[in-house]
Amino acid sequence: MRGLRLLAISCVTFAGLVGSAAAHVTLEQEEAAADSTYKAVLRVGHGCEGAATTALRVQIPEGLIVAKPMPKPGWQVELKEGDYAKSYDYFDTPVSKGVKEIAWTGGNLPDNFYDEFVFRVRVTSFEPGTRIHLPVVQECGSAADRWIEIPEAGKSEDDYEYPAPGFTVTEPKEH
Amino acid sequence: MPRAHTRFGASVRLLALVLLALLASPAAAWAHAALQSANPAPGSVNAAAPDRIGLIFNEPVQLLSLRLIDAAGREHSPASAPDVRDGQVLWPLPDRLPDGRYLVSWRISSLDGHIIGGTFTFAVGAAVGTPPAVTTVDENHGPVLALHAVARLFLLLAVGTALFRLLLAPQGMAPALHRATRWLAVAGVATLSLFVGAEGALRVGLPITGLLSGDAMRAAFGASNMPLRGLSALGMILLALNGGRLWQGFGIACAIAGMGDSGHVLAVLPSGVGQGLMMLHGFAAALWIGAIAPLRSALTRDAGTETLVLFRRFQSCGAWAMAATLASGLVLAWLLLPRLADLWQSDYGLRLTAKLAAVAAMLAIAGVNRLWLTRRALGSRPQLRGVLSTTLELDLIAAILATVLAVGLSIGPPPAATLDHAIADDAYAATLSFSPGKVGDNHLVIALRAKAGAPLDPKEVQLRLSAPGIETIARKAERIATGRYEVRDLPLWLTGPWQVEIGLLIDDFTRRRLRTELTLAP
């Protein structure tokens, strides 16, 4: 009996742990070192309330530079460029503008299928411990789920219905 | 002990298997439950009371709570527990639901532990759908409005002149007063007929030139206020004929009935009371207004003691007429304007303020005449007679203005009573006006003001409301004007406290949230 109870508790705890995070559009890698290149893998596990996903758009926040999407068969990839708020040093080259938004469009990902959307980005010198959020709009035909909620101070992503996927910046690697 | 040990070992293996299965099947773990259909359908009007509530989700769910309440906030949840089978929730309703509107609030946990909830409404009984919007005949057409104003003016002057003759019976003026009454009454009947036809044309969507067409007439005669207008016309015809005092009195009573044909107060007070109040207001105003021109002509005819006596007699009954006009007018204003500030903050209030200004001018003239001018002009200082005559002329102009402005009040409805809540963050300030601001269906108007640089019209304005035991009611607000949004028929059937959240989608990736808490009066 004790074993069964333990099993039940474990399952509930497990479901609770993965549950809130798993229901959303999330990043595979939850950590990235400052001053490093990060491979962002956006995981899409469901459509918009049953409807198939037809487009995914991600906003590249300030401080993430030279973003490059990985081509994806069956999807058109579009880039929106713009000026950064300031100039960044990228291997001794000043960079002041670049990709601000990546959009994968024209695809069809049914609700009962899973897929990943990949891009690479340079994480500039953030303070270790900083949480960076990548707002994502998931379009399903005319409907859309906006994974754009960034937690206010004192709250976590779990407190929101549509949290933006995020990762935490860690100490820079030794060169 | 060994048996227990073995069972424990089996449990651990099972746990490992479950964990492995969960990890290996991301599709299952990522699934997101959503309500796919409900019975009765959200927003539906059902002729027959449903015998159960059915909810169908796209995946197996665990039901956390389910509530059924009526529009008065009363619980109708049956004692029996809902039957949950996979993604289907069935909740038998053993007792027949009385006709009315109901709110279903549900909260579930999906497979992945994600908790979602929602609230929807449905109605039972054919007659209790959403309450019909107050139909406002678009009287906002200049010519129709002008005809109404002229007809009303002739009505008041005809009745007023007849009253003057009947009550004050001035020697030697009777024939002239009768002539004046006759012409005013004939003009009143003519303009009333034109107005009724024009309004009929408007009702059936014809241009004003179609006022004599059969369709316009049919529409006019079909209107609920036609009997009162017919009675008013009959009264004016009686006034035009030179009957005895009894006939004149009867004519006055019938004619003034036309005052009850319209007015926003009719929508506020029970049938009959509103009409009565309008008639009283009109009667008193007619007595006041109708005396001005005869007094002035008496002054020009003969400025002797006879005229002084006439003025004196009018001043005593005129004071009552003014008091009754003002008292009934104030009651009407109090009934229609929820707050004093609406006098200058709403369109209706501004029109009413203009009318009140004209009435104030009339009062000022009456005060000066009564306290100072009349006695001197008709006594010791005849050189002031010209001034008295001019003040009476101004009085008449103010009276005409007040009458026209009174008709102008019908252009738009008075502001509704609202419960206002202001919220702000560093970029936006929003005023939420809930009307009527009491427990029940509420209409919400959101007025947005952007601080420096922010766009006034976001891409989308969302409203989310929840209360203890009532899951989120999520609605998209409709834009009605720049920076103004509305949400109709919000089922706020409990006092709350309601958590209110306005979501402003600034661009595709940014949503601002403004929050407040609201408690409604029962």
Burial class (CB in 10 A: 0-12, 13-18, 19+), B12: middle
* Chain mean pLDDT for chain B: 82
Chain A hits for B110, CB-CB cut-off 8 Å, are 23
CA angle B41, B47, B49 (to 5 degrees): 75
Model confidence at B123: pLDDT above 90: no
pLDDT for residue B469: 84
Q: Which pTM value belongs to this model?
A: 0.53
Model confidence at B170: pLDDT above 90: no
d(CA B60, CA B18): 17
Mean pLDDT value of segment B134-143: 49
- CA B299 vs. chain centroid, Å, equals 46
Min Cα–Cα distance to chain B from A92, Å: 31
Q: Computed over its alpha carbons, how large is the radius of gyration of chain B?
A: 34
CB pairs under 8 A between A and B: 91
Over residues B490-509, the pLDDT tens digits come to 889 888 889 999 999 988 89
Over residues B330-345, the pLDDT tens digits come to 998 888 887 788 888 7
Give the lowest-confidence range in A101-115, B16-30, B282-296.
B16-30
Q: Is A16 on the interface with B (CB under 8 A)?
A: yes
A146–B22 CB contact, under 8 Å? no
Model confidence at B438: pLDDT above 50: yes
Find the length of chain A. 175
Token digits of residue B331: 């009651």
| Percent of chain B topping pLDDT 90 | 26
pLDDT for residue A76: 96
Over residues B90-105, the pLDDT tens digits come to 988 888 888 888 888 8
pLDDT for residue A83: 95
Over residues B380-391, the pLDDT tens digits come to 888 888 888 899
Give the lowest-confidence range in B110-119, B148-157, B392-401, B461-470.
B110-119
Structure-model confidence comparison of residues B7 and B441, the more confident one = B441
Which residues numbered 51-70 in A keep a CB inside 8 Å of some CB on B? 57, 59
Q: Is B499 on the interface with A (CB under 8 A)?
A: no
Model confidence at B6: pLDDT above 70: no
Alpha helices in B43-173 (DSSP H): 142-168
Q: Give me the residue from A3, A11, A57 closest to B18, CB to CB.
A: A11
Structure-model confidence comparison of residues A138 and B371, the more confident one = A138
pLDDT for residue A129: 94
Min Cα–Cα distance to chain B from A101, Å: 10
pLDDT for residue B328: 93
Q: Are B431 and B447 in contact (CB under 8 A)?
A: yes
**In chain A, which residues have pLDDT < 50?**
1, 6-22
pLDDT for residue B112: 64
Mean pLDDT value of segment B509-520: 88
Buried b (16+ CB within 10 A) or exposed e, A119-137: bebbbbebeeeeebbbbbb
B15–A11 CB contact, under 8 Å? yes
CA angle B515, B517, B520 (to 5 degrees): 140
Q: Give me the residue from A10, A137, A148 closest to B15, CB to CB.
A: A10
d(CA A16, CA A10): 10
Give the lowest-confidence range in A87-96, B59-68, B200-209, B292-301.
B200-209
Q: Is A135 on the interface with B (CB under 8 A)?
A: yes
Q: Residue B10 — very low, low, confident or very high, per pLDDT cuts 50/70/90?
A: low
Over residues B195-226, the pLDDT tens digits come to 888 888 877 767 777 788 888 888 788 777 88
Q: Nearest residue on chain A to B506, judged by CA atoms? A: A148
Which residues numbered 10-29 in B keep a CB inside 8 Å of some CB on A? 10-12, 14-15, 18-19, 22, 26-27, 29
User: Choosing among B1, B57, B112, which should be mutated to test the A contact, i.e. which has the most A CBs within 10 A?
Assistant: B112
Token digits of residue B120: 């929807």
Q: Nearest residue on chain B to A20, judged by CA atoms? A: B114
Q: Collapse the DSSP code of B283 into the 3-class scheme (helix H, G, I; strand E, B; otherwise coil) and give the result.
A: helix
A137–B505 CB contact, under 8 Å? no
Residues 6+ apart with CB under 8 A from B315: B370, B374
Could you write out the DSSP letters of every residue in A29-80? --EEETTEEEEEEEEE---BTTBPB-EEEEE--TTEEEEEEPP-TTSEEEEE
Give φ, ψ of B217 to 5 degrees: -65, -45
Chain B hits for A4, CB-CB cut-off 8 Å, are 7, 11
d(CA A63, CA A61): 6
Structure-model confidence comparison of residues A166 and B440, the more confident one = A166
Model confidence at B192: pLDDT above 70: yes
pLDDT for residue B522: 76
Q: Nearest residue on chain B to A24, judged by CA atoms? A: B30
A45–B27 CB contact, under 8 Å? yes
